[in-house]
Amino acid sequence: MTRRLGVEEEFLIVDGTQGRAVALGRVLDVLDKDAGLSSEMKQEQIETCTLPHTSLRDLAADITDRRRSADTAARSCGARSVALATSPLPVHTTTTPGLRYEQMVQRFGLTAVEQLTCGCHVHVEVESDEEGVAVLDRIRVWLPVLLAITTNSPYWNAADSSYASYRSQAWNRWPTAGPCEVFGSAKAYHAQVREILGSGVPLDKGQIYFDARLSHRHPTIEVRVADVCLFADDAVLLAALVRGLVETAARQWRNGGKPVPASAQQLRLASWQAGRYGLDGELMDPLTGRPRAAFDVVMGLLDSIRPVLKDQGELGTVEFLLFQVLARGTGAVRQRRIYEQTGSLREVIADAVRITNLPVTPFRDLTPPLLPTARNM
C-alpha cells in the first residue's frame, strides 16, 4: 500500500508593486476558507494545505492549485503571494489577533515578534504511533539533507545573511525547535512531550517544534525542517523524498533494523551546515558524521530509498526532480543569481512571484516565460 501524503506551505504576502511584506493574512483567511487557505501567526503570511494524496501527479496538481488560490486571494487585496522563506526587504511584522498568539508574543518576546519565516511541512500517514516513532528514529539523520535541498532564504532585513537558509537560523530560536535524540518507543516519545509541556515553556502541543514529530491532529508523521520551496517542483520532490524515507524506515523497523546512533548535537551541526551552504559545498554524511561533497550525500539519500521508489513507480519522476535541483540550484541560488543580475531585491521578489505559480515540470510542457520586472510583478 502506498502511503498518503500531504503538504502545507507558508507564503509571504507582498505589496504588488514594491515587494514589501504587507499585513493581509486575516483578510485572506476570511476570503476563501474552502480553498485550503488559512492565516498564520503573522498577518504577512498565508498558509495552504493540500488534501491527502497517494499519487505524485495529483499532489503536484493540488500544490499548483493551492499556490494559485493563495495568489488570487492576495491579488484581490492588491498584493501577491510568494514562496520566499524570509522577506528579502525589511518588515515590521503584525501579529494576528487572538489569545494564543498574544500569549506567544508575551512569553517569547523578540523571538516571536521577529518570527516571519515560511516553511514547508510534509505529512505522511503511519499505521500507529509505534510505527511513527520508529520512523522518526530512523529518518532523523537525513533531515539536514532535506533542508539543504530546499534552502530558499538567503536574505534577511535587506542583507545577504551568508546562509542558504536563514529561516533555519531564525526558526531555531524557538526553545523546542531542532533535532531529537532517538526515542526508542511511542511511550518514550509521549513521555518526553509531557515533560516538555510540564516545564511550562511551550504553551501547548502545537509548540512542539521538533524537526519531525507525530502530528497531534492527524495519523501522520510531520517533517518540518524545510524552507518553503520557491519552485513547486521542489515541494513535490521534498514530499516524495519524505514518503520514500518513511516507507524505507518502516520496512527497516519491521525487519529489525536499528537507527543510526547519531546524537542530537551531531544532527544540529549537520543542520547548521545544510542551512549555511545548501548544496554548494559539503554536507555531513548521515552514516559517518563526516563532511562529504553535497552531491555524494544527496546520492546516498536517493540510493537509500531507491527500492521503495521503484516499488511505488516514482523513481523516474524523483530522479528527474532531484537532478533538476542539483543542476539549476535551490531557491537560494536563484535569488542570489537574480540579485547579481539586477542589483535589486525588488527584482528578486518579482522573479519569485512568477516562479511561485509555475506548474510542476514533469506534468506540463515547460516554456520558460521572460523574467518579469518589479514594475509588472
pLDDT in tens, 66-117: 999 999 989 988 899 999 999 999 999 999 999 999 999 999 999 999 999 9
Fold topology of 5-364: Creatine Kinase; Chain A, domain 2 (3.30.590)
- Specify whether the CB–CB gap between 95 and 105 falls below 8 A: yes
Counting Cα atoms < 13 Å in the Cβ hemisphere of 100 gives 9
Mean residue pLDDT across the chain: 92
Task: Determine contact, residues 349/88, Cβ cutoff 8 Å.
Answer: yes
Q: What's the average model confidence in pLDDT over 168-172?
A: 97
Secondary structure letter of residue 196 according to DSSP: H
Query: How far lies 69's CA from each of 22, 112, 124, 194, 268, in Å?
Result: 18, 28, 23, 38, 36
Cβ contact 118:131 at 8 Å? no
Q: Sorting pLDDT into bands at 50, 70 and 90, what band is 285?
A: very high
Is the pLDDT score of 373 beyond 70? Answer: no
Q: Tell which residue, 121, 149, 143, 88, has the closest CA to residue 330.
A: 149
Q: Which amino acid type is present at position 84? A: L
Cell, residue 252 = 527497516
User: 236 is written with which cell numbers?
Assistant: 513535490
CB 94 within 8 A of CB 23: yes
Distance CA 6, CA 28 (A): 22
**Average pLDDT, integer, range 353-360:** 92
